[in-house]
Structure 1
Amino acid sequence: MGNRTDKAAELHNKGYNCAQAVACSFCDEFGIDEAAMFRLTEGMGLGMGCMEGTCGAVNGAVTILGLLNSSANLEKPDSKGQTYKLSKELVETFKNKNKSIVCKDLKGVETGEVLRSCPGCIEDAVIILEKILEEHR
Structure 2
Amino acid sequence: MKHEERARELFLSGYNCAQAVAGAFAEECGLTLEEAVRATAALGGGVGGMREVCGAVLGMGVALGLKEGSSEPKDRAAKAALYAHMQALSAKFREENGSIVCRELLERAKTAAASMPAERDASYYKKRPCAELVACAARLIEENTEKSAD
- The TM-score normalised by the length of structure 2 is 0.80
Q: CA deviation at 1:112?
A: 3.2
Q: CA RMSD in A?
A: 2.0
1:128 aligned residue: 140
Question: Which AA in structure 2 matches 1:133?
Answer: T
Conservation of the 8 A alpha-carbon contact between 1:4 and 1:26: yes
1:35 aligned residue: 34
Q: Unmatched 5+ residue regions in structure 2? A: 113-127
2:11 aligned residue: 12
Secondary structure at the aligned position of 2:45 is classed as: coil
Equivalences for residues 8-87 of structure 1 within 5 A = 8-74=7-73, 76-78=74-76, 79-87=78-86
Question: Which AA in structure 1 matches 2:110?
Answer: G
Say which structure, 1 or 2, has more relative contact order (CA 8 Å, 6+ apart): 2
Q: Unmatched 5+ residue regions in structure 1? A: none
C-alpha separation between the residues in 1 aligned to 2:37 and 2:45?
Answer: 14
Q: CA deviation at 1:68?
A: 1.8
Q: CA deviation at 1:49?
A: 4.4
C-alpha separation between the residues in 2 aligned to 1:81 and 1:63?
Answer: 16
Residue correspondences, number: 133
